[in-house]
Every structure is written in structure tokens, then in C-alpha cells.
Structure 1
Amino acid sequence: MLILELLLLMSVLIKAVQPDCRRQGKAQLCTCFYVLLFSTLSLTKKMCLFSINYREFKFACTMIFAIEEINKNQNILPNHTLGYEIFNACGFSNILQSALSLSNGQDVVTDELNCTKVDTVQAIIGHSGSTPTIGFARITGRFRIPVISHFATCACLSNRKEFPSFLRTIPSDYYQSRALAQLVKHFGWTWVGALSNDNDYGKNGIATFIKAAQEEGVCIEYSQAFESTGSKTSLKNIVDTIRTSKSKVIMAFMSHREIKILVDELYKQNITGLQWIGSDAWITDDSLADSQGHTLLIGSIGFTVRNAQIPGLGPFLQEVNPSQFPKSMFFKEFWENIFQCSLSPNAMQRACNGSEHLKYVKHPFTDVSDLRYANNVYKAVYAIAHALHNLLSCKQKKGPFANATCAQPTTIQPWQVKYLLNRKSKYLTLNICKNPSKLHDANKILFIYLFISTMEVATIGYYDAIQPSGQQFTMNNVNIIWGGGLRTVPVSLCSESCPLGTRKAVQKGRPICCFDCIPCPPGEISNTTDASDCVKCPFGYWSNSRGDECIIKTVEFLSFNEIMGIILMMLGLLGAFLTMFIFAVFFHYKDTPIVKANNSELSFLLLFSLTLCFLCSLTFIGRPTEWSCMLRHTAFGITFVLCISCVLGKTIVVLMAFKATLPGRNVMKWFGPLQQRISVVGFTLVQVLICVLWLSISPPSSYMNMSYYREKIILECRLGSAVSFWAVLGYIGLLAVLCFILAFLARKLPDNFNEAKFITFSMLIFCAVWIAFIPAYLSTPGKFTVAVEIFAILASSYSLLICIFIPKCYVILSHQTSKGSVKT
């Protein structure tokens, strides 16, 4: 069997009538089209033991069709004929040998019809592969022979310094590779494997893909290359890598030969469930249906150039017959393969004579529904024809060359054809343009294809490079069957996506796609998946429990609606009610000896002040405001001084009364009712003065404390002047200590004056409460600070009320006589 891959070489022959010239040269060229003066196809048979590549054979016939169409068109190259020669590809060395031979010049032997002699080929079309093209394009470039490729996509060929005469009608892999990287990102695949041919096409293409993929945030788990002619060890290594890898998406920048070998081996080892992404070299190749493991490729996606129609090509291909090319071994082999017969006599197979017709055969060769790459050959022929036509139509002194000269019609040089191709051809893809918006349509719009059923393809969308990022992909409404038969988009990740409320933390020594998900710290959130960093909440906000939303911070203060506030409020109201009850009892029994003996005026004033003390505790409950903050502290300070002043007055009265009973002593005149009132007012005015100064200099104010708790705001009363606050407390403490000392001194007085014992005990509790209050106040946060202060107020107030008045009430109520008298 034969393999046919093509390289076309073309030139122009001037004729007076339609000539019929034969080439007699000795070039041994592989995979080349060579256009001389030929009206029939002559193919040199090379014994290569491979099967025919029908796609390459269709390329050859498309070239023949285009040349015949041009030769029949009187508007292009009138009175001139395009000739051609097609060479088989049997080895890279033969290609280079033939390239050197062509560059040195090929003599054309003319016949009786007086054909013009040409020395060198005017243009070369081909090769389909990038590596062979690189090999001979370097040589022909030295002689400025234009090379136009219809399928060599390696981006390296865009280097004009290295390949000055190379042109092509297919986009460079630079654009395809970048588009494939964006395709991978589009479907959320961030962990992929990369395979390629071990040649210039594969290495350059996959390198561009990997670079573009990394720019898109895609990680490559592995990257390996092999050739169909390479060792089995390299293939085994790749299969083992695929088996053990975590990625389920593979980018294969290969030709159809390598992908066939690879999927066959994967099929044998039952390695399935992979999502393949293909380069245009194999993604639409019909020959893949012949591979054993082609079912593994169902669901593959990739890019290809836009489809095209070539009017008249279909009937032309159906009319192909070996009789048209009797000396061509390729057409003979092609015919025998199509009809499974033999054109040679005495053969083992069924005999055939060429009368069979291709229009009755369903075969990829005659299928013209997909001519996207054949159209590239068609355009290449027309590009050369128009360049030659422009050269022959040149008018002297208006020419494109030096001094406005034209080319000599009988000696058109390859560099002149190249010059016109570079300047005026509308058929060629721009080769070195870096701006996608300036490219030919074949460069800027690539269609996504999907293998379905048995190697059929369907359009699932398209990619437009000139659109803004995020709008380059447009998907058709197609039910896609992905690799492995999945109905949903496959997942290929090194690490699962980080949910809201977490951030990515890259695992040490691994690619950025491998990460751990770390919860956002308090006060920070992430409201997107796979967030790289957490964002701090704005002022006054805090993160919720999930860490995915900032919510307004909870404002904390001691309110009337919570249990602790309700309990403290009830205790305060109970104390005030109890005080008023005792006040009512004392007032009702004000004429009894026990009330009179305990200085009823100071007792009533003390009960009034205790009522205010109980009620002032309520000002500490509720939302702090500017007025409530000033009221609570000043009211507390003044009422407590009034209370302690009354107790101090009662204590002094006890002491003075004892002194007054001693013979020769008349001290009560120095501390009578008037002096008692003056002392109480005087002691209280001192506290009033301190509070006035406090409110004047730096009064208490409401304050949102955000430093103690990060997750909530403590709404509290800022003291303003701390000196004033501690002065208020210190003055209360000074009076309490003085009262305690005097009461302690009077504790052993006669029973008739035993009130000093109760005052001593009450002052002891009072002082103990307020001494314990100081460290508790300084160390307790938030609303508990207020609760401690209220507790101290209530505890000290209850201690005075219970120790001083409850025993008297008990005596009054339990020992009253039927006449309303009380036993003493």
C-alpha cells in the first residue's frame, strides 16, 4: 500500500496554442507538487508500505481541479497554462534532495508545439506537515522560492528571518494554541495533561499552549511528547502517566498518526473516561474512524477553520478515473482500495477495468461537505495564479520592481512571484501579524467541533479572538456528549473549589492549582468561590458565621429586654418600693419612741436618699445617650453622698448623745437639728460641686467601643474625665470610711443607743461592696461593667436599708400595743 502526502511546485509556461509538454528531469522529490508544462498527471511511485491518506489525495485532486479551472478561465493568465507535478512522500531525505534539485534549476524539454523553457520552479505548495516544511523552506528560502502551505501551522514558520519566502493559507498555531488555552479555562478545567508530537509542530504548539494556559490560571500536570516512529518505551511511559494522573482532560497537539497509536494503546489497556482536546491536525480527520480505539475520542473538542464550498469540485472528484492518469500508480492504488478490486491481470482479487464510477460510492474522498482544508489548497493555487497574472499584466514604467520595471514574461523569477504574493494576495493568511483584529477571517474565527457517534463532527459554538475577554466564546444550543459519555461538563481539578467563606492556600512545592481551603479569619469574608484572599469587612461590619457576608455588628448594651436587665430593674424597683414602705411605716409611727429616738428627721431624709439610690440604678439600664450618661453618674454620686451624709449625721448624733449624758457635758447644743441639716447639705454640696466641674470640663458621653470585641460594638458611657469619676467615688468612699470609723467607736454604747452597731455593720458591707467593685469594674467588659456598677449600687443600698431600718420596722410592727404603743 502507498501513502500520499503532498508538496506542490508550480510555474508558468507561455504558449501560442495549448501545448503538451513532458518533464524529463531527474528530481527525486517526495511530497511535492511541481508545476511544469503538464496536461496530465504523472506520479512517480515510491514503495512506502503504508496506507493511502485519502485527505492528502483529495488535496492533490483539489489542486488539479483548481489548475484546470484556471486554465479554462480566459480572465486569468490568458494564452498561458499552469502545469504541475505531484510527488509522493517517502522520506524526509528525499524531500531535502528534491528541494536542492529544484533550487538548482530544472530543465524543461519542449516538444513540437514550441513550449517555452523554464529553469526553476516558480512556487511550491505544501507540505501538509510542519517539520518537512521547515526542512525544505529553509533551503528554498535562500533562493527566494515562495512556499505556500495549506496545512503547516507551526508558529515557528512565522519567523521571516529564518523563513523569508514562507506563506500559508491556514492560521498559525500561535492563535490556535492560545484559543485552546482559553477553551480549557472556559469550561473550568484547571488541571490538564499535555501531549504532543516530538517534532517542531508539536513542541512549538504545546509550548505556546502551556504558556497561554498558565496565563489563564490553568496548571499542567504533565507534558510529554512522542512520535509514531519512536520507541515503544516512550508510548508506554505516556500511557502509564495517563493512567496514574489525576487530570481527566488531555490536550493533544498531535497529528492523526500519533493520536491513532495512542488511543489504540489506551483502548487495549482499558483506560477510559478521558476528555480529549484536539488540535486541528486530527480533530476532524476522517481516518481516525479506522483506529481500534476511536470510541475513546467520542466527545473530543477542538478548533478548526471555517468551512467552505468549492463549486464544481464535487462532480470533478466523482469523475476521477485511473484512465485520466494511466501512468499514475497512486490513482491505480486508490481505485483498487476504493472498489476492492485489481486493475492488474492475473491478480488474486476481483478484477476491475476502471468502468466503475465514484458517484455510486459513499467515501470521504468524494464527500465535499467539509472542505475547510481542501479550500486552503484551492486558495493557494489561485494566489499563485493571480500573482503570475499580475506579473504578466505589468506595464513598463508602472511595474512593482526597481525603476518601475516589470518582470520578463519568458523569464519570471521565483522572487518576483513571492514579491507579488506578499503585496497583493487576498488568499493568504497574514503570517506575522500580532494583532488578531487585523487577521483574515480564518485567523480570527475558529469553530468548536465535537466528535459524536462514529467520528462525525458537529459545531457546538465558535470563538472570536477580536471580542473582549469573556465574550469570545459563543455556544450553540447543542446537547453535548462529553468524554466518557458524560452529559455534564467533566471536572478536572487538582483541588476542589474553595467555597464561600474560605480562601485558597497553595500547597507547598505544588502548582498553584493545588491548594487547601482555609476559612477566612473573623472580620474577613470571601463571597466568591476560589477566592485568593479574604476581604476585611468595612467599619461597623463583621463577618457572619459562614464568613461569606459582612453584617452590621451587634450593638451591645444592658437593655430592659434581656434577663439580666429585667432582674436588675426588678431589684431596683423592689428596693425603692421597700424603702417607700418603710418610709410609710416610720411616718405612720413617727410619734413612737423608737422613731423619735433614732432622729426621725435624718431617718426620713435617709429613706428618701435610699429611694433615689434605688431609682438611679435604673438610669444605667437602656441605650446610653448623651443625657443618660451624664445623669447616671452624677445622680449616682450625689444621691449616695446624700445617703452617706445622713448616715454620718446619725452616727455623730449617737456619739454626741452619749457625750451629752455625761455629767458636766452639754455637747448636743453643738450638733442640734440645725447643725445636722447644715452638715448633710454641706457634705452633699461638695459632691455637687465635683459633679458640676465634671460636667463642665469633660462630661460623660455615649461611646461605641469597637476595640474590646471585634465582632460587636459595645455601646457604653465614656467617663470623660476619669479624674472626676474617681473623685466622685473617692469622696463617697471617704465619707463611708469616716462613717464606719465613728460607728465602730460607738458600737459599745448602752443599749438605748445600739443603732451604732447596725450602722457599723451596714458600713462594713457598704465598704466591702465598693472595694470589690473597683477591680470588677475595671476588668469586666461591655454591658457587664454596667451590671457590676448597678449591683454595687443595689447591694450597698440594700445593706443600708436592711441593717438600719429593717430591725426598727420589725420592732415597730411586732411590738405595737392595742393602743398603738410599742414596747421598748
Structure 2
Amino acid sequence: MADPDNFPHDYYQKGDLIIGTVTSMFGGIFEETSFTANPKGKTVLDLLAKPKVYQHVLSMVFAVKEINENLKILPNVSLGFHIYDSYLSERMTYQNTLKLLSTQERIIPNFKCDKQKNLIAVVGGLDSEISFHMATILRSYKIPQIAYCVLAPATDVKTQFPSFYRMVPNEEHQYRGIVHLLLHFQWTWVGLITADDENGEKFLQTLMSLLSQNGICPARTKKTQAISRVMDMTTTFESLQLQAASLMSSNINVYVVNASYQTTTCLIWMIYVLSLFEGIRNVTVGKVWILTAQWDFSVMTLQKALEIQPFDGALSFASHSSEVLGFTQSLRRLQPNSPKGDGFLQAFWEKAFDCLFSDSDEGKEEIVLCTGQEKLESLPGTLFEMSIMSQSYSIYNAVYAIAHSLKKMCAFRSKLNAISDHHRRYQLKLQSWQLHPFLRSISFNNSVGDSIFFNKNGELTTGFDVINWVTFPNQTFLRVKVGRMDPQALPGKEFTMNGKAITWHSMFNQVTPLALCNDNCHPGYSRKTKEGQPFCCYDCVKCADGKISDHKDMDDCINCSEDHFPNKYQNQCLPKQINFLSFSETLGILLVSLAISFSLLTALVLGIFIKNKDTPIAKANNRSLTYSLLISLLLCFLCSLLFIGQPKVLTCYLRQTTFGVIFSVAVSCILAKTITVVLAFMATKPGSRMRKWVGKKLANSIVLFSSLIQACICAVWLSTTPPFPNVDMCSVAKEIVLECNEGSLSMFYCVLGYLGFLATINFTVAFLARKLPDSFNEAKFITFSMLVFCSVWLCFVPSYLSAKGKYVVAVEIFSVLASSAGLLVFIFFPKCYIIILRPQLNNKDQLIKRK
């Protein structure tokens, strides 16, 4: 073993039961053992002393003092303690753990004597490595060990070390808290820094899996060097400078740091190296550090002049802690001139205040003597804090957990002791292994009111605080609780964060920093992965027509519901307006006006013919056919009104069928008139047999038969697949169109086809008869009218198929009005012209006149 005289730091206080502790205030670098002589350790205390850790010692002392003064906890038993330092060394950790098991003078394992300490439990150490080194020895003796800063979900610690307890939550909650924190600020492009060892590898494996599951990319992974290499200034100074410059000058704004001692030491050194070079000093600013619970913002004595400004705005996780009443006052009462067995106090004082006591064996040319009147409050927070730290709070709770477990054990044993005189003596024979069942089931509220109890894995069932570190130029800082990761909370409320309470680094001007591979895709755009890049790096692509994205960074655009449509910027769905061709809109009013105007005009023409019914021109070519044609044209104009207004069941039934039958009557009347003209001309030839066909019977038969066929088609249509009111949400992007669905397009086109068939026959016959001698040349006028009729309905089909919404109805109404008007104008206006303006031509002589 190393020579104990080279490592004098310990603190012992007698008691009936002793609590052992191994802390980590000093560091040591040791030479390789040759086994040719008694090995001696070579310490580098000036380089590696961490004065801030002395508070861990004081929290142990304070807790033991409170318990001994509180007769309600252990009235007949006094607690003592023995505190050693690990020197951050495996060798010294093993050695000092064995010292706890031996007498104060010599290390003799497994040997008991009167001077043997009655060790009941051990508290320590500061990190998992030291704690597990201790546990390797303590588990053999089944001595309870309570670690105060060990976070390890990746290994089954309780199975490997059954006597091991942790005064911290399971690290799994911290990992989840880190992910929640990144998601809260939408940080998806982050760097990871950890130690290049087994714990660092476990940290990366666990965290990277969670990050990828939640859409967060590890932009860069940095493994720090071993501490021994960091301390080797001659070989790593240039290397540290290059690594730090690369780390700090990258486009990564957020780094998650596994804040083990090795990682933070290397990180602090890198920042320290950068601070020596003005030319690259500015690259350290503008980073957000997210640090795990091991972080305590402490520096070694060598780094007192280190600028802490790069850590301004840092966020860290810490085991939940509260201020302990009276602890700060106890710190102010420290007297370094009379340490009373405290082997840490004077060394702490010298390192913290950079002075020497008069009895110190260290030689200096210019000695600054310690007066003992120096104020702890004057020290920067990086060297010492007056408020209790989370690790110190964990040690405080660990001591109380041991005391309350002893209280339960004593109460249990008092029930078994019938003779009270032997009670105290029996208690002094307590064995440490007997404490386990009481420690596992411990549950109490400490002096602050926090509930303390372990879960089945020996972990404290509490959560983590999220701390915001606010630094100041005078090397002081302020820690502000801005969030909480509470695994005991209701689902969905485990993580809380007050973003407004955070003070960011001055580089960000109090604007929440961004941590993205590229800018967010704004609403209206979707993400498209860049080939060969991590999934956090993407291009932004405009949403396709008809789709929207209403959040940032959507993977794909979505369709609006049927009753909504995308707005101009495709970032919101707007409700569609219900639309149909109504009587109140401009187009509806115009069509209604035309329909009524033509209806009145037709009625006027009918009136003219009725008034002049006995004139030759009215009698010519079957007066009853003329009246039938005018009445059917009148109804054609009026039936167009059925297409206007909100569709109802009745109007949908009547629209096409009424239009089809009435138009069939009109076209049939014209066909009868045309055939009558042809037959009349042929009947004038001598010996013609056509005379018997000339008359009203044939004309009426043509009209009735032709119209009856259309009526039958419409009847079949209505009885099989009739038209019905329909809501069309797709045809027009911004409208919900109320329409009449035709039911069967085949039947609809049969109606139109039959009209076309009649019109074609009519046009053919009229065209062939257009040059027959006739004073009023009605066949020629019918030819023109049927040409207009056919042209209108030929144009109707493509227009009808291409129109959408209410314009489908408007096209059909216009076709009805236009074709009806063509028949009215070309057939009857010439006759009205003669009747009204040229009555002299309206006589029998003129009628029988031949060209």
C-alpha cells in the first residue's frame, strides 16, 4: 500500500456507531509500482485540489451533530464518523476503504480488537468509479454503502452490489429529462461530450437511442482524454487547443455533456487553453451547455483565474435539493486555527485563500500567512459555495437515512429485550449487515420536509431539478431552478419547464437559441430528407395543390377535410362556402330576367297570333301547331326557372324531365310543320296521292308520337335511377356545391340524344324543303332556327362537361334559353313583322303567289 504519511487528510469523531465516508477533495498521480520497495504515492495536490468538495465533509459533520443533539432520533446512541479522501485514485480508494474496516493505526483486514471501530455504514463516493471501488470491498462484509452521486441505469447495480444504495434517482429519469428539455426548446441538432471510458460509452449508447427515437440528431460526438493526459501539459497543450477550437467554432449551439469528473476537467481545460489566445477566444461564446447531475461548477486551484463566462446560461440537472436551516451559519463558524481533528480544514483554507499557516511545511520565497479571519463569503462560487449543494444535500440525507434506520432497528430490538438494563449494551453489539432490512424500508421527512425513501433498487425515489447557471464577471454565479423532472408526477406532467426564467448567454440576446441542422420548414412547406445527410437535415418543399402543413417541420403535407380548403399560403384550412345558383345573385337575376323576358315575349307573340287568327298568315301551315309550338316555347323559357335556387327533391325530379318532354313537344311541332309544308307542296301536283296525308291528323300524330317516346324515356329514368339532391365537395376547391345529381348519366344523355335525333331529322327535312315555293318561306326559317338549335346543343355538351359548380346549371339554363329563343326568333319574328308592320302582305293572294 502507499505510505499513509503522504496522504494525511482524514477527519475522525468518536461515537458509539461510526459512519464512514470517502470524499474526493484532492487528487493524486501515482508512480508505477515496481515491488522492489515499499510503494509511495506522489501527490500533485496543488494541481488537483478542489476546495469546493470540502462542503461535502461539512455536510456530514453538520448532519451527525444535528442527530446527536436530537434525542428523539437516537436518545441512547451517539454517532461518530471517519472521513477519508479518495485522491481520485483506485489505489487510495481501496486503501482508505480498508482503513475504515481496521483500527485507526494499522490496516489489518478481518482482525478484530478492542480498538476496532464499530462501523455501521459508509457514505461515498463522489462518482460511480470511486463508489464501485468501495463497493467491491464493502459487499464482502455486507456493510451498507450509500453513494451520493452515482447515476447508472445501464448496469444492474443492486444485483452486483446488494449492499449498495444511492441517494440519487435512477439515471434513466435524467436521460428522459434531457430528451424532454431538448424537445421543449425544439433542439434537434446537438453535440455530445463524454469521457472516453466504459461509462462514457454507456452514456452514448443510452442517450443516442433515445435521441433518435424522438427525432433528435447527435450532430457530433466528442470523447475527452484521460485526466493523466490532460495534466501532461507538454504533450497535450497544442492538441487541446486544436480540439477546443474545433469544438467551439462549429455550427453546433447546444452540447450535452456527461459531466463526470474526467469529462468536465477536460472541458474546463480546453476552455482554459482557449482563453490564453486572444485571436480565437471569441469562439467559446454562444454555446448552451446541458450538463448531467455530476456537475457542480467547481474548478481546481490551478484554474482560479479561469473565466466562467462561457458557462453563462448553462443548464444542468441536479438531484432535488433544498436549503437546510442552519447549515450556512455553521459554515461561518469555522475556525481553521483549531481544526479539532479535521485533517481537511487547514488544507482547504490554504488552497481556497492561497495562503499558508505558520506551521505548514511547504516552503515559499514569498509566504502569505493565513490569519484564520478570512471570510468564506468572499470566495467565488467556483471555489466554495455558502448554500448547500445537491451532493452535500444528498450526504445530509444519507446520514439521516442511516440514523432513522438505526432508530427503527433499536425500536424493533427493544420489543425483543425483556430486560431494559441490557438494552444499551445489546445495541452496541449491532452488526452493520443487520441494518439492511430497515434501510430498505426507510421512509421519513427530513428537516426541510422532503420525503426520503428508497425504491426496490435502492435508489432515492425523487426527481431532478433543472438548474440555470447565471455567471458574472467577478467569478460569482447564481443558480436558478427553472424546471423539474419528477417521475412520480402524473403521466404527461413529469417534465415542467419555466422558459421565461432562463437567462441565456449574452450572445443570444435573451432569445431562445436555435439548435437545428437547417432552418425550420415553415407552415405551408414539408420536409424532404437530404440524401446522405442525417434525418435532422432536410430541404423544405412547397406543399402540393390542395394540401397544407399547419406546423413547422412537418414530414408531409396533409389534405384538408372535405368541407375545408387550403388558404393562399397553404398553412391553414378554411371552411368551404355553400354555393348554388340562387335567385339573389347577379348571374341568377340575369338568367331569371332573360327567362321572364322571353316568356313575356312568347306570350306576346301568342297573343298576336290569337288576335290575328283569321288572317291568312296565322291560318297557314296548321294554326293549332303554331299555338302548340308557342305554348311549348313559353313553357321552355319558364322551365329554366326550375334550375335556379337550392336543389330540392321535387325540383331535381322535374328539372331534366320537364325540360326534355317540353322540348320534345316543341321540336315535334316544328317537325310536323316542316312535314306539312313538304306534303302540301307535293299535294299540289296533279294526281298526287299525298292529298290524303295533308291535314291535322298527321300533324297531331307526329307531335303526340314523338313526345310520347321522350315521355317514356323520362318515366323509365324516374322509376329506376331518378335525379336527387347532392352535396359536391370536390369539384370546386373553395365551395360546397349543392346540386342535382342526375342519378343516371346514361338516361340523361338518352334524353339529350333523343332531342338531338328529332332536331337532326327536323333540320334535314327543313333543309331539303328550304327552296320550295312559298310566299312566307317557312321551311327556310325553320332551317335557320334548327341550325341555331343544333349549334347551341352541340356546344352545350363540352361546356357542360368542363363547367364546375353552379356554372354547370348556368350552362344548361343558357342552352335552354338560347335554343328556345332561336326557335322563337327565326320562326315567328318574320310572321310578326308582316302581321304588324306589313299587313298588306297578309292576304290570300300573297299566300298563293308563286315565284
Would you say the 8 A contact 1:520–1:534 is kept in 2? yes
Structure 2 residue 152 is the aligned partner of structure 1 residue 135: no
| Aligned counterpart for 2:315 among listed residues 295, 301, 314 | 301
- Residues 615 and 222 (structure 1), Cα distance of their counterparts in 2 relative to 1, 3 Å cut: same
1:151–1:722 CA distance, 2 compared to 1 (3 A): closer
Q: 2:477 is matched with which residue? A: 456
Match for residue 53 of structure 1 among 50, 59, 77: 50
Residues 191 and 221 of structure 1 are in contact (CA less than 8 Å); yes or no, is this contact kept in structure 2? Answer: yes
* Residue ranges of structure 2 left out of the alignment (5+ in a row): 28-40, 231-235, 418-422
Q: Shift of the alpha carbon at 1:820?
A: 10
Contact 1:310 1:375 in 2 (8 A): no
Whether the 8 Å CA contact 1:104–1:120 is kept in 2: the answer is no
Structure 2 counterpart of 1:249: 254
Please tell me whether the aligned partners of residues 758 and 804 of structure 1 are also in contact (alpha carbons under 8 angstroms): yes
Q: Is the 8 A contact 1:108 1:117 kept in 2?
A: no
Q: Residue 84 of structure 1 is aligned with which of 78, 82, 85?
A: 82
Q: Distance in 2 between matches of 1:12 and 1:566?
A: 106
Partner Cα distance (1:284, 1:29) in 2: 17
Deviation track 1:742-793 (CA, whole Å, cap 9, x = no partner) reads 4345344334473333333433444454455456555655545444434443
Letter of the aligned partner of 1:456 in structure 2? F
Find the counterpart in structure 1 of residue 772 from structure 2: 749
**1:343 Cα deviation (Å)?**
1.0
1:225 paired residue number? 223
One-letter amino acid of the structure 1 residue matched with residue 193 of structure 2: L
| CA deviation profile, 1:533-584 (whole Å, cap 9, x unmatched) | 5555445444444444444444554445566555554544444344344444
Q: How many corresponding residue pairs?
A: 788
**2:512 matched to which residue of 1?**
489
Q: Report the CA distance between 1:251 and its aligned residue.
A: 2.0
Measured in 1, the distance between the counterparts of 2:538 and 2:620 equals 85
Q: After alignment, is 87-96 or 484-493 more displaced? A: 87-96
Work out the CA distance in 1 between the residues paired with 2:174 and 2:377.
35
The separation in 2 between residues aligned to 1:650 and 1:109, in whole angstroms, is 135
Q: What's the CA shift for 1:142?
A: 3.1
CA deviation map 1:213-241 (0-9, x unaligned): 45554433223221443353774565355
Q: Tell me what 1:260 maps to.
A: 268
Instruction: Single out whichever of 691-700 and 62-71 deviates more from structure 2.
Output: 62-71
Distance in 2 (CA, whole Å) between partners of 1:381 and 1:178 is: 29
Cα distance, 1:813–1:466 mapped onto 2, change above 3 Å:
same
Q: Secondary structure at the match of 1:357?
A: coil
| 1:162-199 deviation line (CA, Å, top 9, x unaligned) | 22333343445443343333233333333322222334
For 2:457 and 2:641, the matched residues in 1 are separated by: 79
In structure 1, the partner of 2:365 is 348
Q: CA deviation at 1:349?
A: 3.3
Q: Distance in 2 between matches of 1:743 and 1:47?
A: 122
Farther-moved stretch of structure 1 (641-650 vs 88-97)? 88-97
Equivalent of residue 321 in structure 1, options 332, 336, 341: 336
Summarize the Cα distance change of 1:505–1:332 in structure 2 as closer, same or farther, 3 Å threshold: closer
Aligned-residue offset at 1:286: 7.3
Q: In the superposition, relative to structure 1, how do residues 618 and 286 fare at CA in structure 2: closer, same or farther (>3 Å)?
A: same
Q: Distance in 2 between matches of 1:640 and 1:106?
A: 122
- Opposite residue 191 of structure 1, the aligned amino acid is W
Distance 1:586-1:654 versus aligned 2 partners, 3 A rule: same
Partners of 1:392 and 1:468 lie apart in 2 by 37
Aligned to 1:275: 288
For residue 294 of structure 1, report the CA deviation from its aligned partner.
0.6
In the alignment, the residues of structure 2 paired with residue 10 and residue 207 of structure 1 have an alpha-carbon distance, to the nearest angstrom, of 44
- In the alignment, is residue 471 of structure 1 matched against residue 465 of structure 2? no
Shift in Å at residue 261 of structure 1? Answer: 1.5
Distance 2:643 2:668 in 1: 23
Tell me: CA distance 1:577–1:97, structure 2 relative to 1, closer, same or farther (3 Å): same
Residue aligning to 1:290: 304
Q: CA deviation at 1:509?
A: 4.7
Superposition CA RMSD, Å: 4.9
Q: Structure 2 matches for 1:489-568, cutoff 5 A?
A: 489-521=512-544, 525-532=548-555, 534-555=557-578, 557-560=580-583, 565=588, 568=591
| 1:482 CA displacement | 0.7
In structure 2, what residue type is equivalent to 1:308? E
Q: Which one-letter code corresponds to 1:247 in the other structure?
A: I
1:159 CA drift (Å):
0.4
Alignment of structure 1 residues 604-683 onto 2, 5 Å: 604-664=627-687, 668=691, 670-673=693-696, 676-677=699-700, 679-683=702-706
Question: What TM-score comes out, normalization by structure 2 length?
Answer: 0.77
- 2:34 aligned partner: none
1:247-277 deviation line (CA, Å, top 9, x unaligned): 3122222235334223324544322111222
Contact kept, 8 Å, 1:283 with 1:302, in 2: the verdict is no
Aligned to 2:785: 762
SS at match of 2:159: coil
Q: Aligned pair in 2 of structure 1 residues 149, 800: CA closer, same or farther (>3 Å)?
A: closer
Alignment of 1:182-221 (within 5 A): 182-199=180-197, 202-205=200-203, 207-221=205-219
What is the rounded CA distance, in whole Å, between the counterparts of 2:817 and 2:521 in structure 1?
54
Q: 1:307 to 1:4 in 2, by over 3 A?
A: farther
Q: Give the 5 Å matches for 1:594-605.
A: 594-605=617-628
Instruction: Give yes or no for contact 1:62–1:313 (8 Å, CA) kept in 2.
Output: no
Q: CA deviation at 1:331?
A: 1.9
2:392 corresponds to: 374
Q: Which residue of 1 aligns with 2:378?
A: 362
CA contact (8 A) 2:679 2:694 kept: yes
**SS in structure 2 opposite 1:617?**
helix
Aligned-pair CA distance for 1:67:
5.5
Summarize deviations over 1:457-498 as a string: whole Å, max 9, x none: 243434133222443455679754212353232222334444
- 3-state DSSP class of the match of 1:160? helix
**Could you tell which deviates more after superposition, 115-124 or 144-153?**
115-124
One-letter amino acid of the counterpart of residue 135, structure 2: A
TM-score normalised by the chain length of structure 1: 0.79
1:149 and 1:200, CA in 2 relative to 1: closer, same or farther beyond 3 A?
farther
2:449 equivalent to 1:444: no
Kept after mapping to 1: 8 A contact 2:336/2:349 = no
The 8 Å contact of residues 8 and 32 in structure 1, kept in 2 or not, is answered as: no
How far apart in 2 are the matches of 1:597 and 1:69? 131
Q: Judge conservation of contact 1:107–1:117 (CA < 8 Å) in 2.
A: no
Residues 675 and 278 of structure 1: CA distance in aligned 2, closer, same or farther (over 3 Å):
closer
**Cα distance in 1 between the residues matched to 2:743 and 2:695:** 40
Q: Work out the CA distance in 2 between the residues paired with 1:387 and 1:508.
A: 60
- Residue 348 of structure 1 aligns with an amino acid whose one-letter code is E
Code of the aligned partner of 1:278: L
Aligned-residue sequence identity (percent) comes to 31
CA change 1:632–1:250 in 2 (3 A) is same
Residues 1:491 and 1:640: Cα distance change in structure 2 (over 3 Å): same
AA at the equivalent of 1:301: L
